[in-house]
Structures are given as structure tokens and as C-alpha cells.
Amino acid sequence: MIRRVLSVLSVVGLAGGLLAANVLADKETEKKFDTTCVVSGGPAKKEIVEKVGGKEVYFCCPNCPKAFKADPKKFDLKVKQQWLETSQITQVGCLMNGKPFDTTATAKLGKADVAFCCESCKGEFENADDKAKVAFANFDKAFTLQTSCPVSGKPLNAAQVVEHQGKKVYFCCPGCPAAFKKEPEKFLSKLPQFAKDEKK
């Protein structure tokens, strides 16, 4: 009997250790910063950063922000790609048509993973000369500036979406849209897609 108890405790202890290891591994992954400077294409540094539309844009050196500020539109696609690489935007649909994507049909865009609704769309993307241009051509269909549910703060579920003032708002579950619709003004400050509207 004692041996059985010890055996059970050993298994529980091992499971707990593995769980702790997974949590630590997840934290290490979250801490990892790996993206490219939108101007030079070299490794960006987390401490060299500028705010753009409520989000952060990273550079490799103090000179690159100056070049960026001189002509921001020139670097628009690279900024969007960097936001994707640094988890500042969320993919909510196939890059090619905005349809629900299949997590088994994926490809790389820079240092980020992107998903498609089918292998055909994936192939079309992979054969493109300018992948960033293709990826962000349908930005509002395939991406959202949100990174979390405005009601709960939890990760987004692309299927849970409503329109407010002509813009899509994403949530984590079927219950949160009702709370948002009841008092939308309460949550607008948490939605980057309304940031400009609030400044007016």
C-alpha cells in the first residue's frame, strides 16, 4: 500500500514538474524579442522604439527612426509585418480571402507564422514575389489591430465578432458581445481600431 502511495506521489510530482516546466517555457517564449528593423532590415532592438497609432515600431539604431519619420508610408508594409512578428496585431482570417483559416495550412511571413483556408491559398502566397504586399492587401479581412477581448482581456476567437460604427470588434466567447453592446463606450478605450475616432 505504501509503495502504491509513493508511486502515485511520484507521478503527481513528475506531472507537476512538467507543468511548471511548460509554464516556464511559455514565459520564456513570450519574453523572446526577435524582429527586424522596418528601415534597415537588420535585427531590431527593443529599447529603440517609436509609438505609431498606439502601437510600437522597433528599430536597430537611433538613425532609423529619423528615416522612418521622414516618410512613414514608405515603410507601411514592413511596419505591419513587424506588428505581426511582435504579436501587436492578430490574424482573424485567411490572408487571401478573409475566410476562416486552417491551422494546418501555414507559411512563414518574415519571422511570423500565417495561416490560410486551404493549400491552394497557401501555394498562391508562397509563390508571390512580394509576400508582405499580398499578406496585407486585405488587412481588415485578415487581421485586426486587437490583441485581446475588450471585455475579458482573453485571447480572441475570430468567430466571435460584431460590427460597431462600421468596424469589426472581436471577442473571446459568445457571452462578451452582449456585454459590449450594452455599454460600448465603456470598452472603446481598449480597442485600437477606434483610437483615432476617440481623439477627434
Q: Is the pLDDT of residue 2 over 70?
A: no
* 82-95 average pLDDT score: 97
- The model carries a pTM of 0.78
Query: At 64, is the secondary structure helix, strand, or coil?
Result: helix
CB atoms within 10 A of CB 89: 23
Helix (H) / strand (E) element for 59: namely strand 55-59
Res. 54: pLDDT tops 90: no
Q: What's at 162, amino acid-wise?
A: V
Residue 138 has phi, psi (to 5 degrees) of: -115, 55
Give the whole-number percent of the chain exceeding pLDDT 70.
Answer: 82
- The C-alpha atoms of residue 146 and residue 161 are separated, in whole angstroms, by 12
* CB-based contact 89:77 (threshold 8 Å): no
In angstroms, the CA 172 to CA 127 distance is: 34
**Could you state, in order of their start, the residue ranges of all structural domains in the chain?**
36-88, 90-145, 148-199
Do 169 and 161 touch, CB atoms closer than 8 A?
Answer: yes
**Exposed / middle / buried, residue 27 (Cβ in 10 Å: 0-12, 13-18, 19+):** exposed
Residues 6+ apart with CB under 8 A from 133: 77
Q: For the segment 14-24, what is each residue's pLDDT rounded down to a tens digit?
A: 344 333 333 33
Predicted pLDDT of residue 150: 97
